[in-house]
């Protein structure tokens, strides 16, 4: 029986020197030990976490903020009385109690209680925003549970909130095993970077390792992040004093979960995708939800999970998804957006895990309830607890333990049956007979791509129309997506507030944003803005799209020469109807119109007067719109979009960017090396037209092997002497493909590239000019680019990039064949791939910045 488990079985020797008193200076530089479902162990670093999580993982964090819970008062005799805040009594709500002015009551522990016989204690504090001292008084009311007492706090300035009082009077309550007083540095060190909701007296320490860079990398790997709140109580430090855990009273903690996360959890479980929890506090909250839902389904609305409730047959009888759905329905019925409850759940060996598949946690104290939780999660192998082998391995390898120590990434033994775990993480496991071992490389050598800019832009536009843009995940790994998100947030603010701003929205150099945001602004009633950008961007043609918008009823005024940008837009409700457009113009015109058309009164029927080019991008737009509930039909003659309402899906996956992957296909062609790319979806499953990259580079001798975690590129068939292809649907591939072919001495002719003259620069001219510097004479026509093998003298100049990210990335790979190359204005890659230069050492290129030039040199890997 669970209650008969002896706590002494969870003891181990923890030397004091393994407990760091302070954290590492760089949070995410700590060690990370990984325990695989098959029992294998690997040693990593925390900043590698995003590449180690399974695809489509939902990662849930606890956003509680530690309060300055230790407040010291001094009697006239000099005796120190320390009051330790536990939880609010009046107001009982954490938000309301911190907003209290003048008075509140808390449940507290009192240090040196015998010296406080009666009367009030007082101290003077300097609260933020005040010019005179504030007198804070504490009066003991009555004992509560255990050794706690109800303490009434009053202060003599009604303009000061209790939050300000605590900030001024108290100290961060660091764990007692650190064996030191709290210091100024703990105010930052003992908070997660995402801490928000005040209320904890201890940090959710697994979250201390996260940095903004780790979150950026998580988004780049398509790992969604959700947040809940559980206020960690002093019970987290409470040792288990009883012989059996059945005699140990588990502490109760309050938590809250918003309805959006409940729905995401339902979708995650329905899809069979993995759920990861950051820290034991997130674990306890998530695992409490099915039992809370079961209680609600039975008519019990006490909103509390008892210590042993998870082990009762009644509470376990309801299906997990059904239980979560019961919570969602209860919230809807009661017109609530946030679930507030409490839990005393005990998780120990014998517990039925229903929610969490992956856990990020620290190393825990011997004989603690947290170690019981970890033991239950990892289970046994060959009759022995897995946790003990894991901790022994960590101690042998000098891992640091407890709050400011190193981290663990734990997979439940059952998770391998449902999700694929990246083979690259198991370099130290004894069993190396994995069928996909040939596809693995060290995780640190795996290329990490940004999310698809094309899908991301369409997702942001659809989220805007669905009214969920402010809460949708940030897509921040390239300039273009940041520009689009900022612009749409500005429009969203105008729409929601009814504010007529007349302000300028600067699109900078983003062509996608210029087209999309212009159309969206024109389709949003109440907007009054100027859409502007760089001179080059404003000069790019927009007439075909603007003609359709104006015929639909849009009010758009050109502020540039000859009908060009910037554009003054007065948004209005558009009529829509039947229109015509050339199919061989920019596909972004067509996509922008498609995205806006559902909001028009009559929708849109758009006929193509010439054959459609870049059709995969229009197909991608249609696919995204369908996931938001829009009815759209795309065919050779045109596209029909019915008027309708955008509804945000519970989950939306933004793939890794195939356009960016093309440059690493180029690298594979030039180096004949094996290259591993994380999270790249196979062409048969991808929404992206540029997934055709795999097929084009197969002609150039690059073979692709896909698995659930990405792709491995390797040398394929013998390379041909000449390649002739039509790039009408994939013109952006031309720079990488041209450089790869030329430097491989493979003659080529690419047709269907007319639109490359209208990109960030005239790409046809740029490719021709810069390849000549490398000794290749390129012929360019109106709609083709060709090399017939003619060579010329090379020049030592740096490659010019023409403010074009794709030119910079395409020519960077030439260093793999030439040995060295210089690229001017390297920051242009930030438009689509900020981390590009940091990825190149993984394929054997050393990068050295020299002013506004980056020097790339081939090195032996």
In a domain, 181, yes or no: no
109 part of a folded domain: yes
Q: Same domain, yes or no, for 73 and 61?
A: no
Q: Are 729 and 614 in contact (CB under 8 A)?
A: yes
User: Are 625 and 537 part of one and the same domain?
Assistant: yes
Q: How many angstroms separate the Cα of 416 from the Cα of each of 289, 321, 366, 419?
A: 24, 21, 29, 5
Paired residues of 361 in beta bridges: 408
* H runs (alpha helix) in 110-244: 162-169, 186-189, 212-220
Residue 96 counted as domain residue: yes
Report the Cα 719 to chain-centroid distance in Å.
39
Of 397, 420, 443, at which residue does a domain stop? 420
Q: Which of 608, 641, 674 is the last residue of a domain?
A: 641
* 13: CATH: 3.40.1780.10
Find residue 675's DSSP bridge partners. 713
CA dihedral 440, 445, 451, 454 (to 10 degrees): -90
Q: Looking at the structure, tell me whether residues 310 and 400 fall in a common domain.
A: yes
Q: How far apart are CA 12 and CA 366, in angstroms?
A: 6
The token duo for 657 is: 């960017």
Count: domains in the chain = 4
Could you tell me how many helices (H) and strands (E) the chain has, helices first?
A: 25, 39
Between CA 1 and CA 5 the distance in angstroms is 7
State the pLDDT at residue 41.
Answer: 85
Question: Are 218 and 274 within one domain?
Answer: yes
Instruction: Let me know whether 490 and 619 are in one domain.
Output: yes
What is the chain's length? 861
Residue 139 belongs to some domain of the structure:
yes
Backbone angles phi, psi at 736, to 5 degrees: -65, -40
Query: Three-state SS for 706?
Result: strand
Domain shared by 334 and 257, yes or no: yes
Cα–Cα–Cα angle for 204, 376, 429, rounded to 5 degrees: 90
Tokens of residue 160, six digits: 């000061």
Cα separation, 705 vs 685, in Å, equals 14
Q: Are residues 675 and 637 in the same domain?
A: no
Specify whether the backbone of 119 is left (phi greater than 0), alpha (psi in -120 to 50) or beta: left
Instruction: Give the tens place of pLDDT for each residue, 328-371.
Output: 999 999 999 999 999 999 999 888 899 999 999 999 999 999 99
Token match 């509560």: residue? 144
Whether residue 312 lies inside any domain: the answer is: yes
Strand partners, 704: 713
Annotation marks residue 707 as catalytic: no
Is the four-CA dihedral 793, 798, 804, 809 of positive or negative sign? positive
**Confidence at residue 408, expressed as pLDDT on a 0 to 100 scale:** 95
Asked if residue 696 lies in contact with residue 740, where contact means CB atoms within 8 angstroms, the answer is: no
The pLDDT of residue 500 is 53
Bridge partners, residue 276, by sequence: 59, 358
Low-confidence ranges of the chain (pLDDT < 50): 416-444, 474
* SS3 labels along 197-222: EEEECCCCHHHHHCCHHHHHHHHHCC
Q: What is the pTM of this model?
A: 0.52
Catalytic residue among 477, 480, 729, 732: 732
Domain assignment present for residue 133? The answer is: yes
Co-location of 525 and 634 in the same domain: yes
Instruction: Tell me which residue range forms the domain holding 536.
Output: 453-641
Tokens 């055709």 sit at which residue? 692
DSSP string, 402-443: STTS-EEEEE-TTGGGTSPPPGGG-SS-S----TTGGG---G
Domain at 103, CATH number: 2.40.10
How far is Cα 558 from Cα 62, in angstroms, rounded to an integer?
A: 49
User: Which residues is 580 bridged to in the sheet?
Assistant: 607
Collapsed DSSP state (helix, strand, coil) of residue 710: strand
Q: Which residue has the tokens 């309402």?
A: 645
What's the confidence (pLDDT) of residue 496?
A: 64
Do 37 and 74 belong together in one domain?
Answer: no
Both tokens assigned to 732:
């952006």
Does 835 lie in the same domain as 762? yes
**Does the residue 702 lie in any domain?**
yes
Instruction: In whole angstroms, give the CA distance from residue 787 to residue 721.
Output: 12
Q: How many CA atoms lie within 13 A of 250 on its CB side?
A: 23
Alpha helices in 69-153 (DSSP H): 94-99
Last residue of a domain, which of 117, 150, 171?
Answer: 171
Nearest to 694 by CA among 675, 721, 722: 675
pLDDT tens-digit map of 711-725: 999 998 777 999 999
Residue 648 in any domain: the answer is: no
- SS3 of 55, please? coil
DSSP track, 677-705:
EETPPPTTT-S-GGGGHHHHHHHTTEEEE
**Is residue 415 domain-shared with residue 476, that is, in the same domain?**
no
485 contacts 507 by C-beta, under 8 angstroms: no
CATH at 691: 3.65.10.10
Beta bridge partners of 105: 90, 152
Residue 807's pLDDT is 97
If asked whether residues 667 and 783 sit together in one domain, one would say yes
């Amino acid at each position: 029986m669970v209650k008969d488990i002896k706590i002494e079985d969870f003891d181990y020797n923890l030397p004091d020197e393994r407990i760091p008193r302070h954290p590492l200076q760089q949070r995410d530089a700590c060690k990370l030990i990984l325990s695989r479902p098959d029992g294998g162990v690997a040693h990593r670093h925390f900043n590698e976490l995003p590449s180690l999580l399974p695809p489509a993982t939902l990662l849930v964090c606890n956003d509680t903020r530690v309060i300055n819970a230790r407040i010291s008062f001094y009697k006239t005799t000099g005796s120190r009385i320390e009051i330790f805040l536990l939880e609010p009594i009046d107001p009982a709500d954490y938000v309301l109690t911190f907003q209290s002015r003048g008075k509140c009551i808390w449940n507290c522990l009192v240090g040196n209680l015998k010296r406080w016989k009666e009367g009030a204690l007082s101290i003077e504090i300097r609260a933020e925003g005040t010019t005179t001292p504030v007198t804070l008084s504490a009066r003991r009311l009555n004992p509560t549970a255990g050794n706690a007492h109800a303490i009434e706090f009053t202060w003599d300035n009604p303009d000061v909130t209790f939050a300000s009082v605590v900030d001024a009077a108290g100290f961060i309550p660091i764990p007692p095993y650190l064996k030191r007083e709290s210091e100024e540095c703990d105010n930052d060190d003992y908070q997660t970077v995402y801490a928000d909701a005040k209320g904890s007296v201890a940090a959710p320490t697994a979250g201390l390792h996260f940095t903004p860079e780790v979150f950026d990398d998580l988004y780049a790997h398509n790992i969604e992040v959700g947040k809940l709140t559980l206020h960690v109580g002093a019970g987290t430090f409470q040792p288990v004093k009883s012989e059996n855990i059945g005699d140990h009273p588990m502490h109760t903690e309050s938590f809250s979960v918003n309805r959006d996360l409940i729905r995401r959890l339902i979708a995650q479980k329905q899809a069979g995708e993995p759920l990861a929890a950051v820290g034991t506090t997130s674990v306890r909250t998530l695992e409490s939800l099915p039992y809370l839902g079961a209680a609600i389904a039975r008519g019990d609305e006490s909103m509390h999970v008892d210590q042993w409730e998870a082990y009762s047959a009644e509470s376990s009888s309801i299906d997990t998804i059904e239980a979560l759905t019961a919570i969602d329905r209860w919230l809807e019925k009661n017109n609530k957006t946030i679930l507030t409850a409490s839990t005393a759940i005990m998780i120990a060996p014998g517990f039925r895990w229903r929610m969490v598949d992956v856990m990020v946690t620290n190393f825990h104290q011997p004989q603690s309830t947290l170690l019981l939780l970890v033991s239950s999660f990892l289970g046994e192998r060959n009759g022995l607890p897995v946790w003990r082998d894991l901790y022994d391995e960590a101690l042998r390898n000098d891992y640091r333990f407890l709050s400011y120590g190193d981290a663990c990434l734990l997979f439940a033994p059952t998770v391998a049956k449902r999700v694929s775990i990246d083979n690259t993480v198991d370099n130290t496991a004894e069993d190396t007979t994995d069928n996909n071992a040939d596809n693995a490389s060290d995780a640190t050598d795996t290329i990490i791509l940004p999310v698809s800019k094309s899908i991301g832009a369409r997702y942001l536009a659809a989220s805007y129309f669905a009214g969920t843009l402010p809460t949708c995940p940030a897509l921040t790994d390239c300039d273009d997506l940041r520009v689009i998100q900022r612009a749409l947030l500005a429009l969203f603010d105008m729409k929601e507030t009814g504010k007529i701003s007349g302000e300028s929205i600067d699109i900078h150099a983003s062509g996608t944003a210029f087209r999309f945001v212009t159309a969206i602004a024109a389709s949003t009633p109440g907007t009054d803005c100027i859409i502007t950008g760089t001179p080059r961007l404003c000069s790019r043609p927009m007439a075909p799209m603007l003609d359709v918008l104006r015929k639909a009823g849009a009010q758009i005024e050109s502020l540039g020469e000859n009908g060009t940008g910037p554009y003054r837009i007065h948004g209005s409700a558009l009529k829509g109807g039947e229109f015509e457009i050339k199919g061989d113009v920019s596909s972004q015109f067509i996509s922008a119109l498609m995205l806006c058309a559902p909001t028009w009164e009559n929708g849109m029927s758009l006929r193509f007067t010439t054959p459609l080019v870049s059709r995969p991008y229009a197909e991608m737009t249609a696919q995204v719109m369908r996931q938001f509930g829009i009815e759209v039909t795309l065919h050779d003659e045109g596209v029909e979009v019915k008027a309708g309402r955008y509804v945000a899906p519970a989950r939306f996956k933004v793939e890794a960017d195939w356009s960016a992957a093309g440059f690493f296909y180029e690298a594979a062609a030039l180096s004949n090396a094996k290259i591993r790319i994380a999270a790249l979806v196979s062409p048969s499953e991808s929404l992206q037209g540029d997934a055709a990259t795999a097929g084009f580079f197969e002609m150039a001798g690059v073979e692709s092997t896909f698995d659930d975690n990405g792709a491995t590129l390797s040398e394929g068939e013998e390379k041909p002497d000449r390649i002739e292809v039509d790039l009408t649907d994939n013109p952006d591939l031309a720079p990488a493909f041209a450089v790869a072919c030329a430097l491989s001495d493979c003659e080529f002719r690419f047709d269907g590239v007319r639109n490359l003259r209208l990109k960030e620069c005239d790409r046809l001219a740029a490719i021709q000019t810069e390849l000549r510097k490398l000794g290749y004479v390129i012929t360019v026509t109106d709609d083709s680019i060709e090399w017939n093998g003619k060579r010329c003298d090379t020049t030592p100049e740096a490659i010019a990039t023409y403010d074009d990210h794709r030119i910079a990335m395409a020519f960077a790979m030439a260093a793999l064949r030439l040995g060295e190359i210089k690229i001017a204005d390297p920051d242009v890659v930030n438009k689509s791939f900020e981390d590009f230069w940091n990825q190149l050492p993984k394929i054997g290129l050393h990068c050295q910045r020299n002013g506004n030039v980056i020097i790339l040199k081939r090195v032996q890997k």
